Amino acid sequence: MYSERPAERLPGAVVWRNTPRPGDPPGRVLPDGCMDLILLGDRLVVAGPDTRALVGHQGAGLPCVGLRFAPGQAPLVLGEPADAFVDARVALAEVWPERTVRELTERVALAERPGAVLQEAALARLGDPPAEERWRPAAVAALDAGRSVAETARGLGLSQRQMHRRSLRAFGYGPKTLARVLRMRRALALARCGEPLAEVAARVGYADQAHLAREFRALAGVPVGRLLTP
C-alpha cells in the first residue's frame, strides 16, 4: 500500500510510505523531475531524477519510507549536482560521511514518524539557499505552466545556454527534458480526472493526441491507457 502527504516544514516536498503486500506487481515509477531520500530496508538511498519509467527496483518488496524533494531542492541538501544521480539509486553513504549516515539511518529506522526525521536532516543542511540558487522554483513554475525554454530563460535573465548548464546541476537534465516530464505529469493528472485524451493534449500543449501518445510511450514506457487502469 502506498500513501503520501505534503511535508510539513519543507515547501514543495512530499513524505511517502510504501508497504508492499504479497503478490503485488512491481510498481512503475514515472519520471517527475524530483529526487528522493529513501529508507530502503536498513539503508538510506538517494533516488536520482529519472528520464524514463522505473519498474521495480533494488530491494523491491521491502517496506520503505521516503522524502521526495521538490525539483531542484535535493542538490542543495546533498551538496552534489543532480546530474550525478540521473537514472540511478545511490547509497547515501557514498555521498555523506559514513558516521553521519549511520546515525541518521538509526534515527529514521527507530522513529515513530520517520518522515519527520528525514525532513529535519534535510532542513539542517538546506538552510537558506544562496541568492544565486533561488531561480530554481521560478524555472519549474514557468516550465510547468507551459512556457517555452526561451521564454523561461528570458524571464530569469539567463541565456538558454546558461539555463541549460544550471538545469543539469539543479534538475539532472536540461530544461527541455524537464518541460517534457512536467507536461506528461500535467496530462496524466487531467486524464485521471476523466478528461478525454484529445482535450488533454490540446490543453497541455501537445500537437495532437498522437503526439501525447508518443511522449507517454517514451517517458512512461507504456501507452497512456495503461496508466489510467485502476
pLDDT at 2: 85
State the average pLDDT over residues 112-138.
90
Cell of 204: 497541455
pLDDT tens-digit readout, 26-65: 778 999 999 999 999 899 999 999 999 988 654 566 789 9
Average model confidence (pLDDT) across the chain: 93
54 has which bridge partners? 29
How does residue 129 score in pLDDT terms, banded at 50, 70 and 90?
Answer: confident
Amino acid 203: pLDDT: 96
Can you tell me the distance from the alpha carbon of 51 to that of 171, in angstroms, rounded to the nearest whole number? 11
Q: What is the pLDDT of residue 99?
A: 96
In this predicted structure, what is the pLDDT of residue 127? 77
pLDDT at 205 over 70: yes
Please state, in angstroms and rounded to a whole number, the distance separating the CA atoms of residues 227 and 34. 19
Contacts of 71 (CB under 8 A, 6+ apart): 12, 32, 33, 34, 136, 140, 170, 171, 178
**Which DSSP string do the residues of 27-90 spell out, in sequence order?**
PEEPP-S--EEEEETTEEEEEPPPSS-EES-TTTTS-EEEEEPPTTTHHHHHSS-GGGSTT-EE
Residues 6+ apart with CB under 8 A from 211: 201
Q: Distances in Å between the alpha carbon of 56 and those of 38, 53, 116, 181?
A: 15, 10, 26, 20
109 — pLDDT class (breaks 50, 70, 90)? very high
pLDDT at position 23: 67
CA distance 225 to 184: 13
> What residue type is assigned to position 192 of the chain?
R
pLDDT of the residue at 60: 60
For the chain, report the end-to-end CA distance as a whole number of angstroms. 14
E strand or H helix that includes residue 96: none
pLDDT tens digits along 146-181: 999 999 999 999 999 999 999 999 999 999 999 999
